[in-house]
Amino acid sequence: MKGLFCNIDDSVFFWNRDIPEGKAGELIDQYVDVMAGTGTTVLLCCTNARRTNYRSAVWDAYWDGYNPSGPDNQPFLAPVPRDEVAGIRKWIGNTLKVHQQGIDYPGRMIERCRHDGISPWITLRMNDCHYNNIPDHPFHGSFWKKNPQFARKNAPGYFATCLDYAHLEVRDFFKALIAETLDRYDIDGLELDFMRECFLFSAGKESEGAAILTAWMREVHQLVRDAATKRGHPIHLGVRAPSRPETASDLGIDAVTWAKEGLIDMLVVTPRWATVEFDMPLEQWRSLLGNANVTLAGGLEILYRPLPGGSASPVTPELAKGAAVSVLSRGADAVYLFNYFQDADPNARWSVPVYQKTLKTMTSLDALLKQPRTIGITYRDITAPGETYHAPLPAKGKEIVLPMRLGPIPDDRGRCELLLEFAPLDGRPIGTPIVLVNGKACEVCSDATAGNGHRSMSFHVPIAMLAGAKVQEIKIVGKDAAATAYQVDRMEMSLQELGDN
């Protein structure tokens, strides 16, 4: 499978629009039509978190227990923070409106995908844990609320109350939703999203859990095969997993074994949420997968956060294209977008024409290489219990060396700029450094100091300095022995004027 994969969040359609009487189906069609204009090959419609956005027979629907005519303090809404009630009412109310208008949301999405020539998939979140700090929040379904004994053990923090797949009851709970999905919807593929969330077992029990989960995946694979036979056409099975093979394995997500056994047809490797990654080891994944007949996709998140705990911003089109070049040039078969919402997007805020043009370039590495792109240094936001990891930024020292992978570099055209952001250390002013790329000094293009003492500098990098190197080495040193240490909080390289725009 090639092209562009786009995951549609289970609630974004309902949060971002009004749904007048009789217009639900038309609005869903319009949503899919916009995606068709992006060149999307596969549209993955998410149907659940801890409830479903359609009238399920085996799970609670989002609107179960909600009275649209009732007050803001009705029992369903009482646990919701008061400043969030209006938004929750719109979201839940819209799911109910679509249902009351006789529209099955996933079914209508699938129907319009086929009309527009897009392959329709459903993606299921396998352990979503939003609102865990509010146990009575209406987001949570009755199974989670009534069965605290099935939560993970010895696992403090945000993921503490994720469900533990070591319990048969938990596996059966999700299996029931899978079976209903396959029976109810004529799809080309089903994805199990283990990145919402990837903490599936009690801390310290992940190794034992791997065997349990693999055995369960064999059962799910059989369900998919049976559904394909019934439908008379292939149905693919995909999963989302952490960006590093060792992290996935240490969490009990043995995706390589699943691929080699033929249990899955697509593997998406990805960060979780905090930031897009520019340095995922797709080559390592490809080597581990060997001859397995599986599509390997690189997952792109919508947020850009250079260092842990730092501020985040939505990716720009240039950053998104830089990340797409990274995954495709390092061995992925396809780009996979998560939370890249379209109109009225509260994150990216791209206009629809920019959105469609940007996504369309991601269907082809050749097209991407002609486009302006930016590559940043970020970090991976998921580690397994006991795993040691040090984020590349902030980087401190009198001499700092950082590697960057830019993807294929044009031989004789384009220009490149390197952006560095320095933070003050111990209240001392930030001196002007020497910056070398692959051993050659670069000239300063711009220099600015912010009110908080941070200093941003950009440097001109001749394209000839980059040619022939898969990994670019950036070195930052003081001009003399008396120079103070530096702290780098941000580093980006931007390639411009590469070809046709």
- 73-105: pLDDT as tens digits: 999 999 999 999 999 999 999 999 999 999 999
**What pLDDT is stored for residue 479 in this prediction?**
82
CA distance 125 to 237: 14
How many other CB atoms are found less than 10 A from the CB of residue 419? 17
What pLDDT band is residue 343 in, cutting at 50, 70 and 90? low
Structure token digits, residue 115: 């009309």
pLDDT at 349 over 70: no
Q: How many residues does the chain have?
A: 501
**What pLDDT is stored for residue 135 in this prediction?**
94
Residue 236's DSSP bridge partners are 189
pTM of the model: 0.97
- The tokens 């009705």 sit on which residue? 74
Mean pLDDT over 105-117 rounds to 98
Instruction: Estimate the crossing angle of helix 85-100 against helix 105-116, to 10 degrees.
Output: 70
**What pLDDT is stored for residue 497 in this prediction?**
80
**What pLDDT is stored for residue 468 in this prediction?**
85
Residue 415's DSSP bridge partners are 496
pLDDT at 251 over 60: yes
Domains of the chain in sequence order: 3-376 (3.20.20.80), 395-496 (2.60.120.1200)
Least Cα distance to 265 among 293, 289, 290, 228 occurs for: 293
